[in-house]
Amino acid sequence: TVKDCVLDDEAEYTINVQEKKSQAKLTVQELPIEFLDPLKNVFVVENETATLDTEVSKPDQKATWFMDGELLKPSDKYEMKVDGTKHYLVVHDCELDDEADYTIRIDKKESTAMILVEEAPLVFMTPLKDVTVMEKETASFECEISKPDQKATWYIEGEEVQESERVQIDMDSTIHSLTIKDCVLDDEAEYSIKIQDVTSKATLYVDESPVEFIKPLQDMTVF
């Protein structure tokens, strides 16, 4: 009797009794692979790392991973690992486009699960700061947010700011700025920027320029 047969037990066996001999061949059929612990859906927030894992019935099996049916290859983005009977797919820096069905295929068996990616909330990395200028000087407000190329609206005392020859609104990826040229006393106010559902506020202070004599008095002689 051969207990717990493995593939290496497949062979021809012989029994000798006195001068009699009998032979027979043992054939061991390989068991099909089974998923002992199939893939499960994973929830992550944008920019986080997602890990899918599964366990199969045989160690060190070659596996192939797919995303929505497309073959995945190892890269900085996708990391495939095997530890005995356990298989892992690590997806780094998840983006919204990474939300999909992921499938592992071993032999002819498959297991599928989803990575669900929740959008990360937008935050101000550098909020607006108060600015103080003299009359006729240029004032600039600047802030940085956590996501690039987001639509922003600027306000002065709650009223939307309109661009003009004096007022300029700019965006460079994650940096938003408001520039006011040739400041006058009436420009002194609270300014705010709203992006999605978040707001940052700051105040512009305009100091009055000191009085200067444009044309000083001149001596005068009268008769």
The string of pLDDT tens digits covering residues 35-60 is 999 999 999 999 999 999 999 999 99
Identify whether residues 82 and 52 lie together within a single domain.
yes
Q: Is residue 153 part of a domain?
A: yes
Q: What is the pLDDT of residue 92?
A: 98
pLDDT band with cut points at 50, 70 and 90 for residue 99: very high
Q: What is the pLDDT of residue 7?
A: 67
Q: What is the pLDDT of residue 214?
A: 74
DSSP letter (8 states) at residue 220: -
Identify whether residues 102 and 138 lie together within a single domain.
no
Identify whether residues 96 and 146 lie together within a single domain.
no
Which has more confidence, 142 or 25?
A: 142
Q: Is residue 1 part of a domain?
A: no
Domain span including residue 81:
35-118
Q: Is residue 216 part of a domain?
A: no
Q: Taking residues 26-42, report their average pLDDT.
A: 86
Identify whether residues 91 and 133 lie together within a single domain.
no
Identify whether residues 129 and 109 lie together within a single domain.
no
Strand ranges for the chain from DSSP E: 11-17, 20-26, 35-37, 42-45, 50-56, 64-67, 70-71, 78-83, 86-91, 100-106, 109-118, 124-126, 131-134, 139-145, 153-156, 159-160, 167-172, 175-180, 189-195, 198-207
Domain tally, the chain: 2
Euclidean distance between CA atoms 20 and 49, whole angstroms: 68
* pLDDT greater than 90 at residue 66: yes
Identify whether residues 59 and 129 lie together within a single domain.
no
Alpha carbon distance, N-terminus to C-terminus of the chain: 144
Q: Which of 127-136, 145-154, 171-180, 212-221 is the least confident region?
A: 212-221
Q: What is the largest CA-CA distance in the chain?
A: 162
Identify whether residues 94 and 137 lie together within a single domain.
no
Identify whether residues 131 and 99 lie together within a single domain.
no
Residue ending a domain, choose from 57, 90, 118: 118
Residue ending a domain, choose from 91, 118, 145: 118
Return the number of other C-beta atoms located less than 10 Å from residue 111's C-beta: 19
Identify whether residues 103 and 143 lie together within a single domain.
no
The pTM (predicted TM-score) of the whole model is 0.66
Identify whether residues 130 and 179 lie together within a single domain.
yes
Q: Is residue 55 part of a domain?
A: yes
Q: Is residue 166 part of a domain?
A: yes
Q: Is residue 221 part of a domain?
A: no
Among 144, 142, 154, 48, CA closest to 91: 48
Q: Which of 2-11, 170-179, 199-208 is the least confident region?
A: 2-11
* pLDDT greater than 90 at residue 4: no
Mean pLDDT over each residue of the chain, to the nearest integer = 92
pLDDT band with cut points at 50, 70 and 90 for residue 28: low
Identify whether residues 91 and 142 lie together within a single domain.
no
Identify whether residues 110 and 143 lie together within a single domain.
no
Q: Is residue 156 part of a domain?
A: yes
Q: Is residue 7 part of a domain?
A: no
